[in-house]
Amino acid sequence: MQAPWTHTTVLLQEAVDALIPAGTSAAGTYVDATFGRGGHARAILDRLGPDGRLIAFDKDAEAVAEAARIHDARFSIRHQGFRELGDLPPGSVAGLLMDLGVSSPQIDNPARGFSFRFDGPLDMRMDTTRGESVAEWLATADAQQIAEVIRDYGEERFAVQIAKAIVARRQERGPVSTTTELAELVAGTVKTREQGQNPATRTFQALRIFINAELEELQQALEASLGVLQPLGRLAVISFHSLEDRIVKQFIAKHSKEVYDRRTPFAAPKVMKLKALGRIKPSQAEVDGNPRSRSAILRIAERVPNVAEVA
């Protein structure tokens, strides 16, 4: 029986419009680098012409199973993280979308261990077929390692105290192994928190980002996008927290300007590779209907042709 968890795609029309203007029938190859539950992918397919093609990536086996329900010769999915974008032929992609959010079925399924709202194994892996879980890592990491992860990826000011509490619990009663155990431990350690925010929010975010190497994968995927996008190809990235958005913003800014080498002032500058096309946030109506969209930011850029490509 299918699990009852549902997923509402964030910035659906805005993201698809960024790649393919409404009312058009696109050819060429498009990429949904984070398939999730396929909301964006299905909308892109609706706008592709008969010669269009959509390639999706996702390292979550459940997402790949969901993709198997799409019976369309123009569509294919790869059971890979989007750091593998560089495997695509250079200059072959007309539009590339990255939705960096965790899908609702992942969050709401206790067996995945992403949420402190449900009791379940402390896993948090996007790809449950490989790598170690959060519980396995916490069982061996020392207090300094744990504190650095929680501080750097969760921006948690009580990171040291939380790390010490995790190690002390491990020494006294054995490792933390469930989401409830970790949430209660953090709540007992963090005495103050922003109004309306669970004390464990930042710790859970940090551990998920770390165990899945999310920021490193994002940086690799963004760099790969420069090689696979064709001239005037579009890049659209939806981020959900400041660490991700900062990386995307700085990447687009870095490649949206000409760079002069001060050591050779008369040499031609390195030409810009991207043109920033702005950012979009969810409407109030979308936030009211789907509170999880509140922090989303969509940034859009376009691949600038170089001299050889123009010629």
pLDDT tens for 68-82 read 999 999 999 999 999
Residue 224 to residue 184: CA distance in whole angstroms? 41
Residue 36 is predicted with a pLDDT of: 92
Residue 102 is predicted with a pLDDT of: 84
Structural domains of the chain, with CATH: 12-104+214-310 (3.40.50.150), 128-211 (1.10.150.170)
Angle between helices 159-173 and 179-189 (to 10 degrees): 130
Residue 40 is predicted with a pLDDT of: 96
- pTM of the predicted model as reported, rounded to 2 decimal places: 0.89
List the Cα angle 166/169/170 in 5-degree steps. Answer: 85
Percent share of the chain, pLDDT over 70: 92
Residue 279 to residue 273: CA distance in whole angstroms? 18
Residues of the chain with pLDDT under 50: 1-3, 310-311
Nearest one of 277, 264, 214, 271 to 241, comparing CA atoms: 214
Residue 1 is predicted with a pLDDT of: 35
